[in-house]
Structure 1
Amino acid sequence: MRVYRHVFSAVFAASSFLAVPYVAGAATDKAEPATIAANKAMLGKLNFADRQDFEDATRGLIATLETPIIRDAEDKAIWDQTKYDFLKGEAPDTANPSLWRQGQLNTINGLFEVTEGIYQIRGFDLSNMTLVRGDTGWIIIDPLLTEETARAGLKLANEHLGELPVVALIYTHSHVDHFGGALGVVDPETAGNVKVIAPEGFKEHAVAENVMAGSVMTRRASYMFGNGLEKGPKGQIGTGLGQTTSAGTVTYLPPTEFVVETGTELVVDGVPIVFQMANGSEAPSEFMFYFPKHKALCLSEVTSHVMHNLYTLRGAKVRNALDWSKYINESIQLFGGDVEVAFASHHWPTWGNEGVEDFLKGQRDVYRFIHDETLRMANQGYTAREIANLIKLPDGLAQRFATRGYYGSLKHNAEAVYNFYLGWFDGNPAKLDRLAPAQSSARYVEFMGGADAVLDKAKLAFDKGEFRWVAEVVNHVVFAEPENKAARELQAAALTQLGYVAESGPWRNFYLTAAKELREGIKPIHGPKAGPHVVSAMSLEMFFDYLGVRLNPEKAKGLEARINFNFSDIEERYALELKNGVLNHTAGVTLDDANVSFTMTRGALNALALKQKTFFELVRTDEMAYEGNPLAFGAIMSMMDEYDPLFPIVSP
């Protein structure tokens, strides 16, 4: 069995979950009167006296770390729950009290009993790790994001439940926070003895989701998770789905078995499990599963105690709200009559058959409502932006904490449904060929009488609490005159106030991160600890696709090349053709008139791409052989763009 460490490298676009910088410093702005009023009004909209979630989040607590700080091999803190101690108090004027409440729940951490034989580690990372006691060892579901947090969680469980070997891993879906800690719970030397079960398509999607657009996703994720913000009442208070992401080492252990259809039954170390496929819901590769002996249902991330993202602000393919809703409805039909406890990859479980059914129906209905209501209004001629401003949840959903927009939001999810069916264009031809932001902003500002006139009017709007409008109009001044300090400061002030009232963790983090960068500029980002840049988990198809994305057509203008690759160890062939500024590749083909033909191992290609070995070193060590002119491939590689991970977002 192959074991890969640090699968997602900077070169090949780490999953955006890995963009977890921590930069000290936060805005010192006070909450404006309109912000204070909005946050106080929220207290009257929801039943904050309802403490059921707090009872469930603490139920079954066995133990936690004496000090909830997890360190790496160099003694650096890669997870520190103590930074969220400020959440123990009442919500301040600078935070939406609903999001504050969610943050308090997410700080509850430790080892918990879900039901006899099933346990969870919660609050040690963005996600949960679940341990199921088998006949001979632990079956671990979702070993967190990084190996350090996963190792600490397993250690805590073994100390209090009795030490057992890990005999199986189950990856619920293809997002990195659910498999990145695999080598924290499995020894690479004995990994071949561990069964690794995943849903159909996992291997491809686990690596591929963020590869093609990895650079921009990673940059935007630094906004979404807000890890460049100071943690505190005026900064980052969580993400809604969890507090933040750990900053340790991401690993990967390949699956040994895939589940492809609903109804599949497996017995894993004596434990019967019934699977339900949910591909294309919260992740492109995902399943849920039921433990008949325990009457326990693992809901993966198809449900959690939030309204999730139909479109994630870091950037990803829009998810299918209708299918998502139907998967949950199918779970009710398949397992609803028997289940006594439901747990998931985030947050706390729900107990009791009636409670589980009620929770599932709420989750089902929120995605179905967003889908149906968006299309109802779209068919009446409303645009995505109009729908986002008109749509409102029915009271039965709006009053449920578990369907509030702590991670996703009703507004951007409605726009996601519109985009899923109708795309970005709303039918108005005035928007077909719009000017670039810097060009249009300069003209807007000129039409409005110049920057000073715009700012004078915007300041009046700010004083009235019209922060959304201020952010929209002053954005034009920032893009027309990027060095205008007054504009940047007013824009930052408006975004700060919008962050303070946001109920969605990602919205708050986007607003406050943007404000910070407008004031302080873009700071270097330091993600998790990176080791050798291994790309072995990428298929050759994906590898060559990514080369095509990186090719700069201006550099390749007028050039042609034809290259053969023969991978001797895996018996695969690829032909590359450069023409018209496009790099095409074809599997299973050998070109007769190639400029050069290479014979190599897949490992040699990885070493060359990651600059671990030079071309001549590979030839000298007989890891590569060629016929023809090898400079043809060197020329293509010289035409590849290198992405700047710190490009501007809130300025041109």
Structure 2
Amino acid sequence: MGAVSKEPTRFTVEANASGAARYALGDRADFADVERGLIARFDEIKNERGETVLDASTFSFIRQGEDAPAGVDASLWRQSQLVIQLGLYKVVDHLFQVRGNGANLTIVDAPEGLVVIDCMEGVEMAAQAMRLFREHVNDKPVVAVIYTHTHFDHYGGVKAVVDEADVESGEVALVGPGTVESFNKYALGENVIVGNAMSRRASYTFEALIPHGVSGAVTQGIGPGGGSHFTTTYIAPNDSITATGETRTFGGWEFEFLYAPDTEAPEEMHIWIPAINAVTCAENANHTMHNIQTLRGARTRDARNFARYLDETLVRWGDRVEVHFGPHTWPVWGNANVVAFLESQRDLYKYMHDQTLRLANQGYHPIEIAEMVQLPDAIGKKWFNRYYHGSLHHNVRAVFAKELGTWDGDPASIWPLPPAENARRYVSLLGRDAILAEGTRAISEGDYRWAVQILHHLVFADPADAQAKELQADAYEQLGYQQEAPQWRGIFLTAAQELREGAATEGGLNTASSETILAMPMDQLFDFAAIHVVGERAADVDLRIGIVVNDTDERWTAWVRDGVMNARPQESQNVQATITGPKQAVVAVLLDPSRAGDLVSSGVLTIDGDESVLASYGSVLEDFDPHFNLVTP
């Protein structure tokens, strides 16, 4: 964090040294595996405007063979040394991966064409991956693309892999788990409907707002991270896997699928390639503990399902599998190693699930359970079960919430005061000086968790209290230095930076790209528009708009009444105005009615009826601030 970052205190140095002593740092097997099959490296990706998408030199401070610096957890440092290895790799004969910014692009070199499994975050990454493969391996056509699940870092680069027209014509198969409608719903809706909040939180968790270095972002644990200026695209699947045991033949080879919904993503599947005895469990098996609840914000997942489908994978293919390739990090080779890996990952999620609910049934609250549950050494000391994406503490709380909801069972917490009001009352009761003194004492003794909590009251009661903010920043910073989980590190260090410098007005992440929005079906687009309606402003509004999308031949009626926006796929005779145009123009007006005039003038859009109804509609909408406050009210 530049000049404002401070050195690790002796308490942090001691905490990280103690952590290093717990880890089996002499186990170097992963370092050989991560280099296995290297064909070609790359260290930079640029977009067509010449902007840097990925620059591996920003991770040059992470040097192989060096011990962790005092301000970085030794386990995170070790994982970071592994995931900054970027390049094209041969996994086994006919199976290749490009490992880059975060997600992998996997290519199956089948006899009659290429099958691409997952497409990275953006077209720039995927284009680089395909160039490397074609330069060093072969130039066969892509005959199929398979999405393993509904997250954007696995479909975002698809338009660098295949032409949309070839998918629409059926010349290229594009396969996804779940029905096409379901896949679209979850792939597009998750990243757009709550995209503003998710992007702001993701900017913390994925360290998008802090510089790389030993006092800032290290890596994202499952990849280097740090990518920006990339273009996310989307093509809807034209083929669906909705049942385990379904097979498809691509390029002359058979692919068998295990349908695994409600796991790491709402729609997800495992893939078995019998010709090469290779399996991927998508993101249900990784070189990390995964998230049951993502800190960026997504639907809570089912830990029991992780375990259930991993075990089913072992039953179906465990006696034959020779390699597991994942959509992040590096593969696992050899039958015994793959089986041990999948069994341990299965038991990891099963243990979290079962022990959380065991303690919940004894009346413990989620925070108490999170402090109580510890992984047995047989699970917890495996490197691939460590906290490089999820973490045990927040995952235990997520299991509780998944099964029992957000209320912890304490009547005092069911109707709490809002945070700022709660903080003001604490400060009024205890006095600013007493809280400041207690926060200072806690920091001086290395009690950073308590310092953050007690000083939080001062910061939320008076966001202009510079002394309180600086003290809380100091505590957050030391907590960040001590974290094995990179998302926790990112959250704490970004919080410290914002307390010192204010919320950033540039940078960060954006999951709701314009292409993603346009790819949404109209019913989801109306949902997206509806969450921009300010209920109080719309309480007395009564308006009805007809919408004709002429390039997709759809007719809708949307109306706002009693503070609520609704829409139906039907034409109505009772509308006050009808707008007609291609989907892109219609979407533009739905989200920003002020653009209607220019679109009409340019001939792209027509409006029949009372044009003022669009002004009325616009008056009840609000924009979202992508940089809203997190560490202050």
TM-score for the superposition, normalised by structure 1: 0.91
Partner of 1:258: 240
| Kept after mapping to 1: 8 A contact 2:97/2:104 | yes
Q: Secondary structure at the match of 2:301?
A: coil
Aligned residues: 624
Give the Cα–Cα distance (whole angstroms) in 2 for the partners of residues 623 and 360 of structure 1: 55
Partner of 1:489: 470
What is the 5 A alignment of 1:604-615? 604-609=585-590, 614-615=595-596
Residue 577 of structure 2 is aligned to residue 596 of structure 1: yes
What is the 5 A alignment of 1:91-106? 91-106=68-83
Partner of 1:586: 568
Q: Secondary structure at the match of 1:331?
A: helix
Once the two structures are superposed, what CA deviation does each residue of 1:416-469 show, in whole Å capped at 9, x if it has no partner?
011111222122222222211111111112222x22221112211111111100
Give the Cα–Cα distance (whole angstroms) in 1 for the partners of residues 593 and 162 of structure 2: 27
Residue of structure 2 aligned with 1:85, choices 49, 54, 60: 60
Give the Cα–Cα distance (whole angstroms) in 2 for the partners of residues 598 and 150 of structure 1: 38
Give the Cα–Cα distance (whole angstroms) in 1 for the partners of residues 556 and 493 of structure 2: 47
**Compared with structure 1, are the counterparts of its residues 459 and 595 closer, same or farther at alpha carbon in structure 2 (3 Å cutoff)?**
same
Once the two structures are superposed, what CA deviation does each residue of 1:588-647 show, in whole Å capped at 9, x if it has no partner?
4x4443333445443441343466994356556776555542322431133111111111
Residue of structure 1 aligned with 2:46, choices 61, 68, 71: 71
Partner of 2:249: 267
| Kept after mapping to 1: 8 A contact 2:117/2:147 | yes
Partner of 1:4: none
Give the Cα–Cα distance (whole angstroms) in 2 for the partners of residues 562 and 242 of structure 1: 48
- Which AA in structure 2 matches 1:377? L
Residue of structure 2 aligned with 1:348, choices 303, 318, 330: 330
- Cα drift, residue 47 of structure 1: 1.1
Partner of 2:403: 421
| Kept after mapping to 2: 8 A contact 1:454/1:474 | yes
Partner of 2:442: 461
Deviates more, 1:565-574 or 1:474-483: 565-574
| Kept after mapping to 2: 8 A contact 1:563/1:575 | yes
- Which AA in structure 2 matches 1:466? D
| Kept after mapping to 1: 8 A contact 2:186/2:267 | yes
| Kept after mapping to 2: 8 A contact 1:322/1:368 | yes
Give the Cα–Cα distance (whole angstroms) in 1 for the partners of residues 355 and 513 of structure 2: 47
- Which AA in structure 2 matches 1:291? I
Partner of 2:138: 162
Deviates more, 1:185-194 or 1:464-473: 185-194
Q: Secondary structure at the match of 2:587?
A: helix
- Which AA in structure 2 matches 1:251? T
**Compared with structure 1, are the counterparts of its residues 432 and 618 closer, same or farther at alpha carbon in structure 2 (3 Å cutoff)?**
same
**Compared with structure 1, are the counterparts of its residues 228 and 26 closer, same or farther at alpha carbon in structure 2 (3 Å cutoff)?**
farther
| Kept after mapping to 2: 8 A contact 1:131/1:140 | yes
Residue of structure 1 aligned with 2:14, choices 30, 37, 42: 37
- Which AA in structure 2 matches 1:81? A
What is the 5 A alignment of 1:27-426? 27-65=4-42, 68-88=43-63, 89-122=66-99, 124-187=100-163, 193-200=171-178, 201-247=182-228, 248-426=230-408
Give the Cα–Cα distance (whole angstroms) in 1 for the partners of residues 544 and 514 of structure 2: 30
| Kept after mapping to 1: 8 A contact 2:207/2:490 | yes
Give the Cα–Cα distance (whole angstroms) in 2 for the partners of residues 519 and 319 of structure 1: 35
Once the two structures are superposed, what CA deviation does each residue of 1:92-135 show, in whole Å capped at 9, x if it has no partner?
1101001111111111121111110001111x211111111123
| Kept after mapping to 1: 8 A contact 2:438/2:454 | no
Q: Secondary structure at the match of 2:369?
A: helix
Give the Cα–Cα distance (whole angstroms) in 2 for the partners of residues 221 and 173 of structure 1: 19
| Kept after mapping to 2: 8 A contact 1:263/1:275 | yes
- Which AA in structure 1 matches 2:620? M
Gaps of at least 5 residues in structure 2 are: none
Partner of 2:556: 574
Give the Cα–Cα distance (whole angstroms) in 2 for the partners of residues 228 and 527 of structure 1: 6
- Cα drift, residue 368 of structure 1: 0.8
**Compared with structure 1, are the counterparts of its residues 302 and 242 closer, same or farther at alpha carbon in structure 2 (3 Å cutoff)?**
same
- Which AA in structure 2 matches 1:135? P
Q: Secondary structure at the match of 1:308?
A: coil
| Kept after mapping to 2: 8 A contact 1:26/1:229 | no
**Compared with structure 1, are the counterparts of its residues 609 and 576 closer, same or farther at alpha carbon in structure 2 (3 Å cutoff)?**
closer
Deviates more, 1:105-114 or 1:91-100: 105-114
| Kept after mapping to 2: 8 A contact 1:126/1:245 | no
Give the Cα–Cα distance (whole angstroms) in 2 for the partners of residues 382 and 26 of structure 1: 44
| Kept after mapping to 1: 8 A contact 2:256/2:272 | yes
Give the Cα–Cα distance (whole angstroms) in 2 for the partners of residues 621 and 234 of structure 1: 52
Partner of 1:3: none
Give the Cα–Cα distance (whole angstroms) in 2 for the partners of residues 634 and 42 of structure 1: 60
Residue of structure 1 aligned with 2:457, choices 473, 476, 497: 476
**Compared with structure 1, are the counterparts of its residues 26 and 347 closer, same or farther at alpha carbon in structure 2 (3 Å cutoff)?**
farther
- Cα drift, residue 288 of structure 1: 1.0
| Kept after mapping to 1: 8 A contact 2:442/2:451 | yes
Once the two structures are superposed, what CA deviation does each residue of 1:325-368 show, in whole Å capped at 9, x if it has no partner?
10111111111111000110001111111111100011111111
Residue of structure 1 aligned with 2:543, choices 561, 576, 579: 561
Give the Cα–Cα distance (whole angstroms) in 2 for the partners of residues 531 and 575 of structure 1: 26
**Compared with structure 1, are the counterparts of its residues 462 and 603 closer, same or farther at alpha carbon in structure 2 (3 Å cutoff)?**
closer
**Compared with structure 1, are the counterparts of its residues 31 and 197 closer, same or farther at alpha carbon in structure 2 (3 Å cutoff)?**
same
Give the Cα–Cα distance (whole angstroms) in 1 for the partners of residues 594 and 112 of structure 2: 44
- Cα drift, residue 176 of structure 1: 0.7
Residue 612 of structure 2 is aligned to residue 634 of structure 1: no
**Compared with structure 1, are the counterparts of its residues 549 and 419 closer, same or farther at alpha carbon in structure 2 (3 Å cutoff)?**
same
- Cα drift, residue 395 of structure 1: 1.5
- Cα drift, residue 166 of structure 1: 2.4
Give the Cα–Cα distance (whole angstroms) in 2 for the partners of residues 562 and 71 of structure 1: 46
TM-score for the superposition, normalised by structure 2: 0.94
Deviates more, 1:572-581 or 1:345-354: 572-581
Q: Secondary structure at the match of 1:535?
A: helix
The structure whose RCO (Cα within 8 Å, separation 6+) is larger is 1
Give the Cα–Cα distance (whole angstroms) in 2 for the partners of residues 646 and 181 of structure 1: 26
| Kept after mapping to 2: 8 A contact 1:249/1:528 | no
| Kept after mapping to 2: 8 A contact 1:149/1:246 | no
Give the Cα–Cα distance (whole angstroms) in 2 for the partners of residues 458 and 620 of structure 1: 61
- Cα drift, residue 161 of structure 1: 1.1
| Kept after mapping to 2: 8 A contact 1:143/1:179 | yes
Once the two structures are superposed, what CA deviation does each residue of 1:19-65 show, in whole Å capped at 9, x if it has no partner?
xxxxx736421111111111111122121111111121111112213
Once the two structures are superposed, what CA deviation does each residue of 1:283-308 show, in whole Å capped at 9, x if it has no partner?
11111100001000022111110000
